[in-house]
Structure 1
């Protein structure tokens, strides 16, 4: 019990890795944890593509916004929402795949991937490995789809870098629990005060981490991302892969 708690609450994103390879046994255990995750209607709408080829990893690093740790680490995992298997099942049973015409399929697929991704991160940590999720997998998704030959009804949601940590990064503060856990209903009246409290913690952390060179807080960071559509090709990618938004 305590080991699981420490693993889950001690998460750190690792962006520096040693040359030590990730073994097939370790990768297999990570994928077993992914497969054991719950999914909607037991549809198992998750596919993981492992990439270890240095040339492919370098290209993925470029497509993700020049994230060097993708190329440096021994393994990159791409987590995809996958309805290709459901299409095969439909054809086997003389049925039509209709769910991909509704936004529900996107919500379900992304949810299932999120649960699976969390399982993979936890399992990797239990094996002494470091990870960092890569939302940049959606930065140039059409090129990534072509590179990894994703069929129709499959789309990338997130990547995950896996390897042996070269160093242990600092554990970042999280929002106050009251901002995340709302009892019996959503308590929006307290949110600004909680965000301000958290901003002070993050600003202090950033000053300590950068030797006083930066004091950027959480609300400033989030605002700078969400004042634009920062991955504008996602809708085009979903349409290309056969999804609609009804």
Structure 2
């Protein structure tokens, strides 16, 4: 098991707190997470997909409605189409397994209609949000399981850039939406894949009530930490840009959302009323 103190230092950039009292292999796996965007040309062992789905189905689900599904994509041509729809991200083509996680209200719609029962509640925003949360919880369970097996993963939010076309590639019925994709495979050992630091706990952890102004010092520290990280990783970020500026640019305008500014329209086209 990797040294807990070292794992925390990688995650926060400084010695954080004494972790020796409570620790486990599971926590080591969680803190070792890194996004993998380069994969070996090596197939996954038989049963890997089914194991990841079993882990996903072990996540919590609101009211046991299980309003999510997943499409496993291994066919090269289909991965190519999805890569093109997601800003041509090469790792989608490269990974042996690409999982598309779905907010799925089609199943409950089908069950209700097949029994002649009303299902008006499915038309409300709450149910769509529930399905997105269910899909996210399931996917994160699968990620933890995959990484515990020595596999690498990276989420692909760009599935939401062109939702209708993704739905067509995957043959999705109405009331189903691709929330995000997930690359799964063996990391390329020649790639420089490191743990990306996160905001200090002083920024994200609030005790009893929320405090916005008190986050300033933690954000300033993180800005410098991420500037050093960008430089060390030779990332395509201007040398004078910090995390705050980089992040605000991502939300500066509708155009910054890479097509997702029309998400409500896309969802309605896919059968979600969102009342």
TM score, norm. by length of structure 2: 0.85
Verify: 1:206 aligned to 2:235, yes or no. Answer: no
Match of 1:236 in 2: 265
Find out whether 1:113 has 2:142 as its counterpart. Answer: no
The two structures, once aligned, show a CA RMSD in angstroms of 1.7
Partners of 1:245 and 1:92 in 2: CA distance: 23
Name the residue aligned to 1:59: 81
Work out whether residues 17 and 72 of structure 1, in 8 Å CA contact, stay in contact via their aligned partners in 2. yes
Q: 2:95 aligns with which of 73, 84, 88?
A: 73
Distance (Å, rounded) in 2 between the aligned partners of 1:119 and 1:11: 13
Q: Tell me whether 1:166 sits opposite 2:188 in the alignment.
A: yes
Question: How far apart, CA to CA, are the structure 2 residues paired with 1:243 and 1:49?
Answer: 20
Deviation of 1:176 (Å): 0.4
Residue 227, structure 1, aligned to residue 252, structure 2: yes
Partner of 2:173: 151
Q: Deviations for 1:134-183, whole angstroms, at most 9, x for unmatched residues?
A: 00000111111001110011101010000000035111100001211111
Q: Unmatched 5+ residue regions in structure 1?
A: none
Q: What's the CA shift string for 1:184-205, capped at 9, x where partnerless?
A: 1111121232212111100011
Matches within 5 A, 1:3-152: 3-152=25-174
Map of 1:193 onto structure 2: 217
Secondary structure of 1:232's aligned partner: helix
Cα gap change, 1:212/1:15 in structure 2, threshold over 3 Å: closer, same or farther?
closer
Query: Structure 1 residue runs of 4+, over 6 Å off?
Result: none
Q: Relative to structure 2, which stretch is displaced further, 69-78 or 210-219?
A: 210-219
Q: Deviations over 1:61-86 (max 9, x none)?
A: 11011100000111110000001111
Q: Note if contact 1:17-1:166 (Cα within 8 Å) is conserved in structure 2.
A: yes
Q: CA, structure 1 residues 50+211, in 2 after alignment: closer, same or farther (shift >3 Å)?
A: closer
* Inter-partner Cα distance in structure 1 for 2:30 and 2:237: 31
Q: CA deviation at 1:218?
A: 1.6
TM-score, normalised to structure 1's length? 0.95
SS class of match (1:183): coil
Partners of 2:262 and 2:97 lie apart in 1 by 25
Distance 1:217 1:158 in 2: 27
Other structure's SS at 1:175 match: coil
> Which deviates the most, 20-29 or 153-162?
20-29
